[in-house]
Structure 1
Amino acid sequence: MTSTEDLRGKVADALRRSRERSTTLTESVDDDELVRQHSKLMSPLVWDLAHIGNQEELWLVRDVGGREPVREDIDHLYDAFQHARADRPALPLLSPAETRGYVREVREKVLDVLERVPLEGARLVDQGFAFGMIVQHEQQHDETMLATHQLRVGAPVLHAPDPAPATRPARREVLVPAGEFTMGTSTEPWALDNERPAFRRQVDAFFIDTVPVSNGDYLAFIDAGGYDDERWWSAEGWTFRKQANLVAPRFWKRDGDGWVRTRFGVVERIPVDEPVVHVSFHEAAAYAKWAGRRLPTEAEWEKAARFDPATGRSRRYPWGDEDPGPEHANLGQRHLRPAPVGSYPAGESALGVRQLIGDVWEWCDSGFEAYPGFAAFPYREYSEVFFGGDYKMLRGGSFGTDKAAVRGTFRNWDHPIRRQIFAGFRCARDVLPDEAR
């Protein structure tokens, strides 16, 4: 059992780490670039930073702390539901200097609240939930800001060491046995409402790849004319491919008889051993069909990640119940790229599947729906209003996801046409009759 003081320390450390990352992402460019919209798909970086502070003020200063508002007059400017991203540059936003002062003042008040509020009792504060929610919110926006950095044009401003080389597992795929497993969670203290509650889910036997699809694998699809062959695409995917004139993953460009990509301002040859990234759901599904396979469903992905056949229980993470360490996964912007396929054997699941956490978000062939017994908490707009749209699920996190904002049950979702996010995929397939055991 974690003591209250230890929990306060954990919360304070998570708040500090998230703010250090936000600062890195916003201080690495000048004020002109902070207020500029680098893509219609994204907010100006200065909006993201003030929005982070505003959400922290709303939930931790005003609600949990019961304090007077810091800047109630700006609430409407930083309400994501009131203003589309494309419209945000025209708003009377706080200047970069005002934004930095605002988030600093809010954080000072939050740390005072943390020292005083009991972290037990009411559901919003029990085990530090509201603080964990805000930490995850900031880290999610940090990943969004990292995607904005990928979209900006100019010299590199972010730097990180490259990941180590890797060796692929001996097996290309593993069998996930048929049967029930526990999906979701009712016990993870900082789990968000769409991860809850835990329930038993029946899954038929299937095979899943031990590693994500690599750039080298995906180049074979391109070279085989995969983007020009309607057979591999769904009707919606083919329409999107033609309208968007897709010929390769986003940020790739032909260079003579090969390909290069732009990665955070660096132009480089395509590294064939890395997981492919910046592909839409439609591209992932087309590749899978071309390869004679398919994308896993969300339930299949989670079973491959969490199910331990030796005990029959579901783990918090593929490797076990301990929090992610640098030996387990590529997380937290530690490297500004996915690690080579086959990396992190210490992060392997009980069934022998690697890189399920970190490196690239993985598209799953499922829509975003509530689990049985779902209850919105603490507000409908986090999950409930998105159920039933055209969204496809993304699981596992990327190299730009922080350890506080990903776990074996964490659910992400986006429109199937999105390519600016750090998304890749792995393939699965049904068990053939002569393979049944």
Structure 2
Amino acid sequence: MANPASPQTVTSADLVAGLRAVRARTLELVEGLDHADLMGPRLAIVNPLLWEIGHLAWFHEHFVLRGLDGREPLMAAADSLYDSAAVAHATRWDLPLPSLADTLAYMDRVQAALAARLDRRDPEPHEAYLYRLIAFHEDMHGEAFTYTRQTLGQPRPTFAAAFGGDAEAGPWPGDVEVGGGILMLGSEPEADRFVFDNEKWAHPVEIAPFRIARSPVTNADYEAFVDDNGYGNPHHWDAEGLAWRDGAGATRPVHWRRGADGWESRTFDRYEPLRPHRPVIHVNWHEARAWCRWAGRRLPTEAEWEAAAVAERAPDESLGSIKRTYPWGDAMPDAAVANLGGGGHGTVDVAAYAGGDSPWGCRQMIGNVWEWTESTFLPFPGFAPDAYREYSEPSFGSRKVLRGGAWATSGRFVTGMYRNFFGPERRDVFAGFRTVAL
């Protein structure tokens, strides 16, 4: 169960602080919700939040307290309620779930036991890996809680995270040219950070020179497509896209509507005038590709995206042999370089965060919106699953790769090598896209 790509020293204090930080976010996301909100309607794209927070505690207990120490469950029925690999999604609304108070009490017991087992000693490498895995897993669910609240039209959550960007910074049009060469796609074994199994391992990919947009596609860009009958013109959609469009009855992005003064978009529980320089968000892979056909562009491959985000420039303007961890360098993200962690309570204009530019001049490749790529989610050569076997392997071949993180994504785990993956039909996630010239 050890992760060979975690050579750095991690103390018990670091791990406990990380668990407390992600738990604080979880509590922010359920604050103020009543039982009806916590259950919500039965939808294929969401979980009942009451089930999901119990699943977090179960996941922590399963991998550490029970997986490492062989302890008895702290909740007798936990496996039959919260094991996501065994409990079918459609049945989660019908389970005899404990109340919110009892679920939070279960979370507290697990958290206390996790902290206690590290008292007065630092962890072994395999323990540190599992502690970070469970913390990052809760981070990911925190983002899922956030887009669930958006999907269901619940009130905007209040996040305590810091915000350092200029929300009204305006547009950032144009392309940059990225030199060709060999990119070592993925993470290196000696990476001084946590590495997820689907990032393993870096392998050579030859990339031709390409021109990529300096920023994601904006609302104004996408509005022009909608107003030009982009959804109604079959020329812009491939066969799978047409099938999705017709099945969903899609005529515009999912949260847009016509208001008295033009297009409006719903953000959580209220509609607001469409902000032209914000990145378009809540569009799926099919919608992104249809816009590209209309505009005479294309989506980047994930290798092109990673090259534009973190590959250094060689003196001859080709791809350098060194990659950064983030577009701006190797320092962890903060409120000055990326819109992450919920501090802005939503997207900001695409010209914001100049301090986070990549070596090639691309902006916001980390934060604001996830970015669809052309690539299908597949294993890298030599892939082997880590301890959480269900994390990547079941999704290979059926989902598309997204890169970069969104405004609600935690800065604790997202990097220039992190691979997200969703079905091409998903419009609920905080996803937009940037494009490449043909």
Q: Under a length normalisation based on structure 2, what TM-score does the superposition of the two structures give? A: 0.91
Residue number in structure 2 paired with 1:371? 380
Matched, 1:321 2:333: no
Q: What are the residue-to-residue correspondences of 1:28-427 with 2, within 5 Å? A: 28-37=32-41, 39-115=43-119, 118-121=122-125, 124-125=126-127, 128-153=128-153, 156=156, 158=158, 164-169=167-172, 172-185=174-187, 186=189, 187-256=191-260, 258-310=262-314, 312-389=321-398, 391-427=399-435
How far off is 1:257 after superposition? 5.6
C-alpha separation between the residues in 2 aligned to 1:178 and 1:72? Answer: 57
Secondary structure in 2 matching 1:404: coil
Secondary structure in 2 matching 1:268: strand
Cα deviation 1:56-114 (Å, max 9, x = unaligned):
00112122344332125221321222234332111111221110110010000011123
Q: Which residue identity is paired with 1:419? A: R
Assess, with a 3 A threshold, how the Cα gap between structure 1 residues 412 and 2 changes in structure 2: closer, same or farther.
closer
Answer with 280-289 or 175-184: which moved more: 175-184
C-alpha separation between the residues in 2 aligned to 1:213 and 1:206? Answer: 17
List runs of 5+ in structure 2 lacking aligned partners. 1-5, 315-319
Aligned residues: 423
How far off is 1:246 after superposition? 0.8
Q: Which residue identity is paired with 2:418? A: F
Q: Under a length normalisation based on structure 1, what TM-score does the superposition of the two structures give? A: 0.92
Residue number in structure 2 paired with 1:433? none
Q: Which residue identity is paired with 1:206? A: F
C-alpha separation between the residues in 2 aligned to 1:54 and 1:91? Answer: 15
C-alpha separation between the residues in 1 aligned to 2:436 and 2:264? Answer: 28
Cα deviation 1:253-289 (Å, max 9, x = unaligned):
1113611111011210010110000001000000011
Contact 1:28 1:158 in 2 (8 A): no
How far off is 1:9 after superposition? 2.7
Contact 1:194 1:370 in 2 (8 A): yes
CA RMSD of aligned residues (A): 2.1
Secondary structure in 1 matching 2:323: coil
C-alpha separation between the residues in 1 aligned to 2:254 and 2:36? Answer: 26
Secondary structure in 1 matching 2:412: helix
Contact 2:217 2:434 in 1 (8 A): yes
Contact 2:353 2:363 in 1 (8 A): yes
C-alpha separation between the residues in 1 aligned to 2:93 and 2:417? Answer: 35
C-alpha separation between the residues in 2 aligned to 1:38 and 1:153? Answer: 14
Cα deviation 1:224-263 (Å, max 9, x = unaligned):
1111111111110011111211111111111136111110
How far off is 1:322 after superposition? 0.7
C-alpha separation between the residues in 2 aligned to 1:206 and 1:46? Answer: 46
Q: Which residue identity is paired with 1:147? A: Y
Q: Which residue identity is paired with 1:27? A: E
Contact 1:39 1:148 in 2 (8 A): no
Cα deviation 1:189-222 (Å, max 9, x = unaligned):
3111001112222111111100000000000101
